[in-house]
Amino acid sequence: MRPRVHISVILATLVALAAAWLVWWQSIASTMKEQLTAWTVEAKALGWTIGTGEVAIDGFPFLLRMRLAAPAVGDGAGRLWRGPPLSVTLRPWAPERASLTMPGQHLLSAGGEPLVLQMGTAKVDLVLGGHGLEALAADFGDLTAGGAHLGRAELSLNRLAFAPVTFSTPSLSLSLTLRDLLPAAEPPPPMGRRLVVAAVKARLLGWLPAAPPKVSVEAWRRDGGTVEVDGLTVEWPPLRLSGKGTLALDRDLQPLWAGSCSIRGLGEAIDALTGQGLVRAKDGALAKLVLGLLSRPAADGVAELTAPVSVEDRMLHIGPAALFKLPELTWPW
């Protein structure tokens, strides 16, 4: 009889553990719904419009998966995002880590003509802590919008500080890579038909205070904030570029850049820019002459220019040559 007693005790223990796990899982699921409701109420009180559609939670026993049938976020200024069904997944024993998936059609609007963005794959991994968002890793694939197609986009953000820091201290690191971009046919792209890769690794120095975006960015700029670009790579035939430098903003919130780059295919790139009317013919000819004299053969024999690159008053300078004026940066506020 003793073995039966032991088996019954084990079974009773397992049933009790399963019941406790179910109660715990349901309590976390209930908390997730309550937090979503609280955030929605708080956002609406600040003038935002929030849509979720039907909300459902499943995934028992080892996952918590919240599904929003029709997510949407808008503000009083006419800016709007409306997305496909959104899934938020986490594990009960690690609620600080969450994964979002949202492939499908996204609508973005800033008050004018809306942009429809189609994503074949869309995943965002979040790490949350006592100070809010601590890290983010996003991976998007097979993107189509406005006649353009992007094979893949990868983004990662990591907070390096959780309290205000001086202008010389990094508070955020960033990595962004775009692959296989086919720009829209109109307007014609300035270079070739395909951008093979564009990648940047950077650190934000200084502190972005919690405030409306324009106020936050202006305060960061005023306090001496900069972005240290530790690595920049662009391969857009005929152009190949790699470099690093420092990015800042002037009083009009236009970019200031000082750095150095190694460039291949610059002559052909200048010809392409001249053909698009972005560089005047005489300026392009002079730039090709001067920069061609400064170029040197690399180890593989291909001509390569290593020179300082700067942007001031929106004018792009490579070495001693002023190429063209960049279009004005329009901020989304």
Please tell me the predicted confidence (pLDDT) of residue 174.
Answer: 97
pLDDT in the model for residue 125? 98
The residues, ordered by sequence, that sit 6+ positions from 251 with a Cβ below 8 Å of its Cβ are: none
| pLDDT over 90 at 252, yes or no | yes
Range 81-108 average pLDDT: 94
Q: Residue 11 pLDDT > 90, yes or no?
A: no
pLDDT more than 70, % of the chain: 98
At residue 4 the predicted structure's pLDDT band, cuts being 50, 70 and 90, is low
- Most confident range, picked from 38-42, 45-49, 101-105: 101-105
- Identify whether the C-beta of residue 238 lies closer than 8 Å to the C-beta of residue 192: yes
pLDDT at position 213: 85
The average pLDDT across 78-104 equals 93
The pLDDT score that the predictor gives to residue 5 is 54
Residue 28: Cβ within 10 Å count = 16
In tens, the pLDDT along 175-201 reads 999 999 998 877 778 788 899 999 999
Over range 307-328, report the average pLDDT.
Answer: 92
Residue 25 three-state SS: helix
Which residues lie closer than 8 Å to 226 by C-beta, 6 or more apart?
A: 167, 205, 206, 246, 247, 248
